[in-house]
Amino acid sequence: MFNAFRTFVLLAGLTALFMVVGYFLGGTGGMMIALVFAALTNLFAYWNSDKMVLSMQGAVPVERSRAPELFNMVDVLSKRAGIPTPAVYIIETDQPNAFATGRDPDNAAVAVSSGLLRQLETREVAGVVAHELAHIKNRDTLTMTITATLAGAISALAQFGLFFGGGNNNRDNPLGGIGALLMVFLAPVAAMIVQMAVSRTREYEADKHGAMIAGDPLALASALHKIAALAGRQVNVAAERIPAMAHMYIVNPLNGQRMDNLFSTHPDTGNRIAALQKLAGEMSLDDKGRRPQPRPRPASGDRDIGGGWRVPTVGRTEDDGGARGPWG
């Protein structure tokens, strides 16, 4: 109920922002046009934004035969989270990263990059997947996806209005052409602030809940450390092309924007890692995600990914070090 109310408030705020942009571009008439545009965009975003986001980020669905261990991992962790198993997508990019989308747990998808699968250990991948499943379980994905869609639309509306000379000769617009020019710069900033408000607190919550789903906070902490370090050196072309989508990823995919300041959509990675380390201490886990007391040996054909979770080792050998799956 609270998440539904929060989503309603977000949509109302973004709709109001649409109307403000429309007013400064075309006066009262522009405001009414923007209201209609916002209503149509909200409707479209609710039903189709997940498909649009996946397409814009170059995510492609994969069959179980291509990535059996990834599929098994998502399935096992989804059952632990108590949600339906989402669709699985892969983004072909060297940058390790991931995001989740969908309007509800019954219509959700998890997208991970090929770089994530190649460069992270199995238990670290499990931590990232669990983080994304936490977003789905908490119903964050609808809010995050709609925010990405509307933020991009607001920026497009502002630039569209300036291109066609919005507000230049409209007496109903108090600032005329200056108002249109201001909207080109201020509207995207306002949309970015909304994104930050949505994203930062949700990332901390998804870290905590994801760590509990996987049972291994330190695996997620290690994954965040590696992703943040590599994201600054490896370009995610799709994310750079559409920055409004950046807040959906587990770590900011945009080069050079990893600081925890006013213009960052993500919390500082160091702060997130510290919170996870604290959680691991509270759970009395060692650096492998295990409790000190003895546990039963894994069943034949299973591989321990930490925190009591075992993912079937399809196509693996015991001497591969657990660093890569058959898809990498």
Q: What residues act catalytically?
A: 132
CA distances from 246 to 45, 254, 297 (A): 17, 7, 41
Cα Dmax for the chain: 78
How far apart CA 8 and CA 256 sit, in angstroms, is 33
How far apart CA 132 and CA 108 sit, in angstroms, is 10
* Residue type at position 150: L
Task: Please give the DSSP secondary-structure letter assigned to residue 249.
Answer: B
**Phi-psi label, residue 321: left if phi above 0, alpha if psi -120 to 50, beta otherwise:** left
Whats the size of the chain, residue-wise? 328
Helix (H) or strand (E) holding 87: strand 87-91
Q: Crossing angle of helices 217-231/269-282, nearest 10°? A: 170
The pair of three-digit structure tokens given for residue 284, joined into one six-digit string: 């009395």
Is residue 211 within 8 A of residue 130, CB to CB? The reply is: yes
Is residue 289 within 8 A of residue 215, CB to CB? The reply is: yes
* Residue type at position 313: T
Neighbours of 200 (CB within 10 A): 16
Task: Please give the DSSP secondary-structure letter assigned to residue 321.
Answer: T
